[in-house]
């Protein structure tokens, strides 16, 4: 890490790290140093534009239409393809959480604690998935992937409220919708270890979406905006109203979606 006590400079180092294991280690250390009181919110240089965060040369990034099919879960390669896609999501989620810390300044101290905690858990998830990929004879980088998650980070880099609305409450919340079915499919394929990893991820991701919801509502309050109305306006503006269902309402409620939001999702679009 750089010779500085600035949380933002340390976070930038982790964000730009290209080696997945090094990024995970830096992220875990970052949170430990923050909790130990060794880092400060001294700002230093303004946030940089980061068109590409630190990532390895592989996986090759392609258009989503070019991705391999992930429906042959009875084979080790088929399960590895699915788990690789999930590992790629978790790797991107590390970068997204680190960027939420690095990019947005002048927020309450708890905001940085929350997002450092999210980053550390995303790193843990990546390591779990990478470890299981190894048992199947594969590794992160063996399959192609896409860059949609970071593209949303770029689109929302100018406003913390929009970032909180669209990354945790749309992209990560989609994981809440699809994970229960994936767990069932992996159990049916007798890959109980993989299913258990997804149960851990599901539990933690409810918390991550809740963190996004907490700070989204905080920012709405500071700007005198109605959270539900603003959320769906942002979905229309940035996603052209494209929210994929079906929705996992119990997990979304646990993650902080309120009654008005759930009612609107029940009748979506």
Q: Which CATH number fits the domain that encloses residue 245? A: 1.20.1260
Residue 34 maps to a domain: no
Q: Is residue 61 part of a domain?
A: no
Query: 40 in helix, strand or coil?
Result: strand
Residue 240 located in a structural domain: yes
Maximum CA extent, the chain: 53
Q: What local confidence, expressed as pLDDT, does residue 3 receive?
A: 61
Report how many domains make up the chain. Answer: 1
Query: Residue 47 domain-assigned?
Result: no
Tell me, yes or no, whether 88 lies in a domain: yes
The owner of tokens 């851990």 is 200
* C-alpha count within 13 angstroms, C-beta hemisphere, residue 231: 24
pTM over 0.85: yes
121 found inside a domain: yes
CB under 8 Å to 146, separation ≥6 — which residues?
A: 61, 62, 63, 64, 67
Q: At what angle do helices 7-16 and 76-103 cross, to 10 degrees?
A: 150
Series of mean pLDDT values for 10-residue runs along the chain (269 residues): 80 97 98 96 89 95 80 90 96 97 96 98 98 97 91 95 97 96 96 98 98 98 97 94 92 97 91
247: nearest Cα among 192, 169, 191, 187:
169
Domain with 241 in it: 73-266
pLDDT for 230? 97
> Do the Cβ atoms of 143 and 85 come closer than 8 Å?
yes
In a domain, 253, yes or no: yes
Residue 2 has a pLDDT of 52
Q: Which helix (H) or strand (E) holds 22?
A: helix 20-35
pLDDT on residue 66: 82
- Asked whether residue 109 is domain-assigned, the answer is yes
């Amino acid at each position: 890490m750089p010779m500085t006590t600035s949380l933002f400079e340390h976070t930038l180092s982790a964000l730009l790290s290209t080696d997945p294991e090094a990024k995970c280690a830096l992220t875990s250390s970052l949170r430990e140093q923050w909790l130990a009181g060794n880092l400060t919110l001294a700002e230093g240089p303004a946030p940089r534009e980061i068109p590409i965060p630190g990532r390895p040369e592989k996986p090759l990034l392609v258009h989503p239409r070019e991705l391999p099919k992930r429906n042959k879960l009875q084979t080790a390669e088929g399960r590895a393809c699915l788990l690789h896609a999930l590992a790629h999501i978790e790797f991107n989620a590390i970068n997204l959480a680190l960027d939420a810390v690095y990019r947005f300044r002048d927020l309450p101290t708890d905001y940085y604690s929350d997002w450092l905690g999210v980053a550390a858990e995303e790193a843990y998830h990546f390591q779990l998935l990478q470890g299981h990929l190894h048992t199947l004879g594969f590794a992160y980088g063996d399959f192609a992937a896409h860059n949609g998650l970071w593209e949303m980070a770029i689109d929302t880099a100018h406003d913390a409220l929009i970032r909180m609305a669209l990354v945790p409450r749309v992209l990560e919340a989609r994981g809440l919708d699809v994970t229960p079915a994936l767990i069932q499919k992996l159990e049916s394929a007798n890959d109980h270890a993989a299913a258990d990893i997804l149960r851990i991820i599901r539990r933690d991701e409810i918390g991550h979406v809740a963190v996004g919801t907490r700070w989204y509502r905080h920012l709405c309050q500071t700007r005198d905006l109605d959270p539900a109305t603003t959320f769906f306006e942002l979905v229309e503006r940035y996603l052209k109203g494209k929210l994929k269902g079906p929705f996992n309402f119990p997990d979304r409620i646990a993650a902080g979606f309120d009654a008005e939001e759930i009612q609107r999702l029940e009748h979506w679009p």
